[in-house]
Structure 1
Amino acid sequence: MESISLLTTLDQKYLPQLRTLLTSLSINNPGEIFDVFLFHNGLTEENLSDVQRQCNRYGYTFLAICVEDDLFQGAPVTRQYPKEMYYRLLAPHLLPSTVKRILYLDPDTLVINPIRPLWETDLKGNIFAAAAHTGKTELANSVNQLRLGTDSDYYNSGVLLMDLEAGRREIDPQKLFRYVEQHRMELILPDQDILNALYSEQILPLDDALWNYDARNYSNYLLRSGGVCDLQWVMEHTSILHFCGKQKPWKRNYLYRFGILYRHYMQLACREEERASLAER
């Protein structure tokens, strides 16, 4: 069976969240082999060795790619627009040419059901597959369409299935940088805005309730589904929970109902690390 290629990008402060994400991935995708890629800028060998050991325990391959500055010649890079914001969209040019398809996951996601059906999705000639968080955010969706001059839904960039070969042909880094330079005053969520402004016509829509469930909006999913998408439905059908927004479930006083589930996987990840450390002594 074909391995599944995963990509994430993060800095040192998100390493514990990556550990939790990988733990949830392993538990809920038994028998799957993953090739895990990590884009970073300055993580230490010690930081990376912890991720490598976890991947080794699961039988996953792991490749950390320190993104060099050369690619960003001419790119608008400021505190508001750090070069890291470009990483996921430039993945076709940063990953080895042997990698044909990748599933990008933000590190603040949790995998609670199999993801092979997403991996095997026919992209139908599109560069990306992504989900829009609609329903409660219909007004914001319309505002984003007007702001960015698009006709499609406003897609979330936290879960992206990418055809890397199509991306290598059609994503021009310099065009992307020029867009940021020309529209920098209009960009609110820069990487997400760029995805929608430049590539919305090349995105296959995904069902967010399955593949990019906004963990803040349980009541909205329940309402728009006519009561179908209750907690049991989510646990049985949703594959990727996304903890969007400033409030995060690993912080104190998290208000939303899936916080306890996230903390459960955090605890499992910690116990596993403790067992591995004892075994190595």
Structure 2
Amino acid sequence: MVHKIDFEHTQDKKVCRFQEEYYWNRKVMNICFATDDNYVKATSIAIMTVLLTNKDEEISFYILSQSLTEKNKQALQNTVFKYSSKSQICFCILTSSIIDKFYSTIKKENHVSLATYLRLFIPSLLPNSVQKILYLDGDIICTDSLRPLYETDLKDSSLAAAHDERTCDSECFERLNYPMKNGYFGAGVLLINVDYWRKNNIQKKCIGFVLNNKKVCVWHDQDALNKILNGTVKFCHIKYNVYEHLYENENNYPALFNTEIKEAVENPVIIHFCSGRKPWTFESRCPFTSLWLKLYKQLFDKKCRLVHRYKGKTRFLWGIKKTLHRLGIKKYEEFEYSRGYFNLKKKIEEKYF
């Protein structure tokens, strides 16, 4: 059974760089990323932007992983210490062989890293002294202060998160079998009440739901979190999790969110490259892709080598359509790149460079 998982060890103490007082300093922001060796560079850029836009903050970074090379651990450490003299970093490594069995049974997609499931293990992986933590996906950039979000009073709430586009999708609630009034959140940005998760066995419940409802979990552990936590979530402003396609004229939110979406797009705090069109792919259409690539060059002192999202026949057909579109023979919406938001990009760049 899932609840009998025997963790060989949950923290790699050798690379925990925290001083004891950091655990109990309530002014420190606890921020968590889950990553693997393939996602270290993206995660490094996310950390870099968090530090550049929260310069006065003391931040305790927790990196969750099943395994990381020493080189990649050092790269993440270097990013933190390069951009902040106040912040700390700790690697929480889950090495139990049972996680391999868990991974082997779950649904996989090319653009979804298995590391994302590690957020379900937060109660076990983090020190008991951590009572609240801000979990962030590695494919984000932070554009403003996270303090207002972090100070959200969770009280009896399990977490705070922003509404996802499926928050009024009847099919979603029928599939997960819970009331639409409880909403549906995106799991890429979560302010987690860790105490609540521990006291209510959220880890065990979510993992059990994933394993026992594989066909139901269309959106992976995000579905499990929404199902298990429905009715206990405090919803925050969408500006804390702005999906990149909102800048590509793809707004699938219900009309009642139009005002909030407009505010979020114009004043984002976190921009989330959540689709398969990551900024390091040829297929990316987001107007902030160029900004991400500029950040990459600044951090790693070299240009990012783009990769294709598609493979085989799909990539071949994509290339043909792109050529036809470029020559004006036939127009395809997927190649209609957004050219707007110049002033917003300039405003954000001023915080970075």
Q: TM-score range by the shorter chain?
A: 0.7 to 0.9
Query: Corresponding residue for 1:217?
Result: 246
Aligned partner of residue 230 in structure 2, secondary structure? helix
1:147 aligns with 2:175: yes
After superposition, what is the alpha-carbon deviation per residue over 1:241-274, rounded to whole angstroms, capped at 9, x for unaligned?
A: 11111110122231122222322322332349xx
- Which residue of 121, 124, 129 corresponds with 1:98? 129
The alignment status of 1:270 with 2:300, answered yes or no, reads yes
Identity %: 25
Measure how far apart 1:176 and its partner are: 3.0
* Deviation string, structure 1 residues 50-75 (Cα, Å, up to 9, x no partner): 11122122122110111132775995
**TM-score, with structure 1 as normaliser:** 0.84
**Once the 2 structures are TM-superposed, how far is the Cα of residue 179 of structure 1 from its aligned partner?**
2.2
CA distance in 2, matches of 1:116, 1:245: 27
2:182 aligned with 1:157: no
Which residue identity does 1:229 align to in structure 2? K
What amino acid is aligned across from residue 123 of structure 2 in structure 1? P
**Which whole-Å CA distance do the structure 2 matches of 1:12 and 1:33 have between them?**
26
SS at match of 2:245: coil
After superposition, the Cα gap between the structure-2 partners of 1:163 and 1:190, relative to the gap in structure 1 and judged at 3 Å, is same
Distance 1:172 1:118, change over 3 A: closer
**2:32 alignment partner AA:** L
- What runs of 5+ residues in structure 1 fail to find an aligned partner? 273-281
Please report the TM-score for the alignment, with normalisation by the length of structure 2: 0.68
SS of residue in 2 equivalent to 1:88: helix
1:115 to 136, 146, 156: 146
Q: Which amino acid aligns with 1:267?
A: K
- State whether structure 2 residue 272 is matched by structure 1 residue 242: yes
Distance in 2, matches of 1:78 and 1:182, equals 10
Amino acid at match of 1:142: S
AA aligned opposite 1:214: Y
Corresponding residue number in structure 2 for 1:229: 262
Cα deviation for residue 229 of structure 1 reads: 2.9
Q: Which consecutive residues of structure 2, in runs of 5 or more, have no partner in the other structure?
A: 1-25, 303-353
Higher relative contact order (CA closer than 8 Å, sequence separation 6+): 1
Amino acid at match of 1:247: R
Question: 2:281: which partner in 1?
Answer: 251
Q: Aligned AA for 2:228? A: L
Determine helix, strand or coil for the equivalent of 1:264: helix
* 3-state SS in 1 of match to 2:128: coil
Bigger-Rg structure (1/2): 2
Structure 1 position 116, deviation (Å): 0.4
Matched, 1:203 2:249: no
Cα RMSD (Å): 2.7
Contact kept? 2:162, 2:240, Cα under 8 Å: yes
Q: Output the amino acid matched with 1:69.
A: S
Q: Which residue of 1 aligns with 2:7?
A: none
Q: Measure the CA separation in 2 of the matches of 1:168 and 1:133.
A: 25
Distance 1:15 1:181 in 2: 27
Measure the CA separation in 2 of the matches of 1:29 and 1:212.
17
